[in-house]
Amino acid sequence: MHLHILGICGTFMGGLAQLARAAGHRVTGCDANVYPPMSDQLAAAGIELVEGFAADQMAFKPDLFVIGNVVVRGNPLMEAILEAGAPFTSGPQWIGEHLLRAKWVLAVAGTHGKTTTSAMLAKILDHAGLAPGFLIGGVPQDFGVSARSGASDFFVIEADEYDTAFFDKRSKFVHYFPRTAILNNLEYDHADIFADLGAIETQFHHLVRCVPHSGRLIVNGQAASLQRVLARGCWSQVELFDVEAGWHAADVSEGAVHAFDVALGATSYGRLKLPAAGSHNRSNAIAAIAAAHHVGVPPALSIEALSHFEGVKRRLELRGIEHDIAVYDDFAHHPTAIALTLDGLRRRVGSARILAVLEPRSNTMKLGTMKAALPAALRDADLVFCFGARNGKGALGWEPAEALQSLGERARSFHDIGALVSAVVDAARPGDHVLVMSNGGFGGVHGRLLEALAARRRGDLGAERVTCVRPT
């Protein structure tokens, strides 16, 4: 079958493309911006890429067009597909019908921690010799790729609650029909498509309805929202985590070494020294161990696997150190994720200074729905540098300086990345930790910071020294 994929360079659709190619299909695709690293991965897989969404791509005459959720009405190629009556489907539906139907699917859902927990679960199953396939919304350092077919019936998938496509407003995860499902947590997010938390709970209820009677739900026992989801109907086994009656961490030690006992009720299975710091990663690990247990992996073997977990790119990823100043990259964009990431770093570095560099870029944050929660989310940062574009597609609908006013002199806001880089470099001193948080590329700010720090060390700030446009 020949598939032509619209929106191929996103992590999900790019992973789909590689899985389809590995399954023997001919795959071509297009996107508005075709650039590394995804373009390199796709080219290496023998997938032909086209820049843009021109209607002349109808000349490919594929058996099926696969539509990513970045595609909207008015897209020239999509309009041509509709006019021609050509066959098309969504990415999640194609995966569900063609790759997952015969698999034991282990799905990881939740507002936070999906990528890391999926990577942990894939690591455990791989360490146990189960050779799982996976599709993850990030790149696990243990594997170096975000998707692979695997050599067994087990498949780990990051189960996103965002909508499927412009013609299918259900969450992506309703197409996966997992036998094991982790429900990590559930908070309000995606204000561009969900009116309120109740609307998201309804989608999670639909996911629960898709799990078979012999399947198992691994559920965060502290999330009232998830208890409401289960109260609407549950037809599968349920195991709770993060509560003493269920799977939980005991005798926790944090600091330079993050260690805890893995327990189910009163039974302890051993002590895990987890390389990833923070209470959120502790919960992620416990959930992954519980899910692996459902497919027969002994907890002791899971503990062994996670003691060597290498993390995920863009999840507190150390990008470099210059003049004893560490620069990290993290995907955090929701206030809760920002707070948890800062908490994890604080527990790792103790009293050392943390300089938080933030781009509120997600659709929810651009709308300003959660701007009031930002000051509290940034409490563990010694200094805060917030970037907000004034113009263009990524422009904020609110003023960062006003939202962060309660932080006083600890916080500064900028509308120019060059000015932000100069301010961070001027403020940074040896021993500091610079934490960059954004769900986008942030104008390559990580590299610019490291280059500017290196230039300062040489006594020449060069082109990065510019006048601040609007500090506060």
DSSP 60-83: G--SEEEE-TT--TT-HHHHHHHH
102-306 and 317-464 agree in CATH topology? no
pLDDT at 469 over 80: no
In the structure, what pLDDT confidence band is assigned to residue 335 with cuts at 50, 70 and 90? confident
- Alpha-carbon distance of 374 to 183, in angstroms, equals 25
Q: Where are the beta strands (DSSP E) in 68-120?
A: 88-90, 104-109
Q: To the nearest whole number, what is the mean pLDDT of the chain?
A: 89
- Alpha-carbon distance of 183 to 114, in angstroms, equals 9
Measure the CA angle with vertex 149, ends 61 and 96; round to 5°: 65
pLDDT of residue 471: 34
- Kindly report, residue by residue over 263-283, the tens digit of the pLDDT: 999 999 999 999 877 888 999
Contact 42, 16 (CB under 8 A): no
> How many CB atoms are closer than 10 A to CB 368?
15
Q: What is the mean pLDDT of residues 48-69?
A: 96
- Kindly report, residue by residue over 190-229, the tens digit of the pLDDT: 767 788 899 999 999 999 999 999 999 999 999 999 999 9
φ and ψ at residue 419, rounded to 5 degrees: -65, -40
- Kindly report, residue by residue over 410-426, the tens digit of the pLDDT: 988 888 888 898 999 99
Q: For residue 278, give both structure tokens.
A: 């923070």
pLDDT of residue 461: 43
Domain ranges, ordered by start, for the chain: 2-90, 102-306, 317-464
- Alpha-carbon distance of 206 to 109, in angstroms, equals 12
pLDDT at 230 over 90: yes
**CATH number, span 2-90:** 3.40.50.720
pLDDT of residue 400: 81
- Alpha-carbon distance of 134 to 290, in angstroms, equals 18
Q: Which fold has domain 317-464?
A: Protein-Tyrosine Phosphatase; Chain A (3.90.190)
**CATH number, span 102-306:** 3.40.1190.10
pLDDT of residue 392: 58
pLDDT at 464 over 60: no
- Kindly report, residue by residue over 129-178, the tens digit of the pLDDT: 999 999 998 888 899 888 999 999 999 999 999 899 999 999 999 999 99
The answer to whether the pTM exceeds 0.75 is yes
pLDDT of residue 239: 98
Cβ contacts of residue 366 below 8 Å, gap of 6+?
360, 394, 395, 396, 397
